[in-house]
Amino acid sequence: MSFTIIDSVPARLNRSELAVPGSHPQFFEKAAKGGADIIFLDLEDAVAPDEKEKARKNVIAALNDVDWRGKTLSLRVNGLDTHYMYRDIVDVVEQAGDKLDLIMIPKVGTAADVYALDMLVTQIETAKRFEKRIGFELIIETALGMQNVHAIAGASKRLESLHFGVADYAASTRARTTNIGGANPDYAILTDKDEAGRRETHWGDMWHYALSRMVVAARANGLRPIDGPFGDFSDADAYRAAARRGAALGCEGKWAIHPSQVALANECFTPSAKEVERAKRILAAMEQAKREGRGAVALDGRLIDIASIRQAEVLVKKAESIGGS
Ligand code: GLV
Ligand code: MG
């Protein structure tokens, strides 16, 4: 291990994060009763410019009046480049900040963006004598944000998670796709011809680099990496495939832009009984190896060593925290 110790943020379930537009208060109660680990009330891109003010009022009323059943609540504010953002922060945090767990900041480009909001929120919290400190979740969704992601991830003690905003990221990098988070037949490899002259097309994951880069920045700073939206809410299988790819890379959860995606996210980011059982067997086998003075042993014909203990412990701990939720 390095002499630099990474402190992880407080554990919080973040398998599913449901987006609820602030302009549609009729969805609030349903979201509160649903299975999402985190709900973010959106003032940004799901809300048209003419509705921004009304949405802000709806959100303040909802934070104070709706029974959220102990759910983790977040507020997505508008970007720092808009004139809406300061009022999103000032109005909502002043009037309902004690009900808010997190603020989601979109299109973060530099560490200074985070610093600016930290300053503003700190002043309001201090003035209002709030006891609970609001955490930040940041969306990495621009080329600038992805370039600076490592500095951004260490920018404030308020940070809890980084989110990959694939839709804006595609726009910012001018990626040739309009399918939010989905596959792209143009991002493929054509195999060489076999003896019979046949060739195959193998689709690739065009988001792999971006998501991996963000996962590394998040984990190196003790934050949760979260995968963002998947636009085609009628395609559960494709959502599952995307969520599983994210989980395989180390993400802790994924957005749900439709209530039907909440259960899919919870399913994909909960370790299966089979995975937990194997992790427990690894721990038992390594315990036995320790007693015998060995650092590595074989289990089911595969090598396991001390690093396997860490992997298995992460998995078992995760399953326990979900079981106890
Ligand atoms: C989310 O905000 C995205 O742009 O994907
Ligand atoms: Mg976005």
Using one digit for the tens of pLDDT, what is the confidence trace for 95-120? 999 999 999 999 999 999 999 999 99
- State whether the Cα torsion 97-101-106-110 is positive or negative: positive
Task: Tell me how crowded residue 259 is: count the other CB atoms within 10 A of its CB.
Answer: 17
Helix (H) or strand (E) holding 53: helix 52-65
Torsion of the alpha carbons at 271, 269, 59 and 136, rounded to the nearest 10: 90
Q: What φ, ψ does residue 256 adopt, rounded to 5°?
A: -120, 115
Please tell me the residue having the least CA distance from ligand 1 atom 1. 165
Please report which confidence band the pLDDT of residue 324 belongs to, taking 50, 70 and 90 as the band edges.
low
pLDDT of residue 321: 85
Pocket test for ligand 1, best of 78, 169, 230, 257 (most atoms within 8 A of CB): 169
CA of residue 281 to ligand 1 center, whole Å: 40
Ligand 1 touching residue 17 (CB < 6 A): no
Which tens digits make up the pLDDT trace of 240-275? 999 999 999 999 999 999 999 999 999 999 999 999
Q: Taking 60 as the threshold, does the pLDDT of residue 325 lie above it?
A: no
Tell me the CA distances in angstroms from 243 to 22, 211, 267, one per residue in order.
26, 12, 10
pLDDT of residue 279: 95
**pTM, two decimal places:** 0.95
Nearest ligand for residue 165 CA: 1
User: Alpha carbon 1 to chain centroid distance?
Assistant: 26
Please tell me the residue having the least CA distance from ligand 1 atom 2. 165
Q: What is the DSSP string of 148-166?
A: THHHHTTS-TTEEEEEE-H
The amino acid occupying position 50 is D
Pocket test for ligand 1, best of 141, 207, 226, 227 (most atoms within 8 A of CB): 141
CA of residue 194 to ligand 2 center, whole Å: 43
Which tens digits make up the pLDDT trace of 37-63? 999 999 999 999 999 999 999 999 999
Q: Identify which of 101, 143, 87 has the alpha carbon closest to the alpha carbon of residue 10.
A: 101
Pocket test for ligand 1, best of 45, 108, 137, 254 (most atoms within 8 A of CB): 45
Q: If DSSP codes are grouped into helix, strand and coil, which group holds residue 283?
A: helix
The amino acid occupying position 35 is G
Q: How does DSSP classify residue 192?
A: P
**Domains located in the chain, CATH noted:** 16-270 (3.20.20.60), 274-323 (no CATH)
Q: Taking 90 as the threshold, does the pLDDT of residue 323 lie above it?
A: no
Q: How does DSSP classify residue 99?
A: G
Ligand 1 touching residue 229 (CB < 6 A): yes
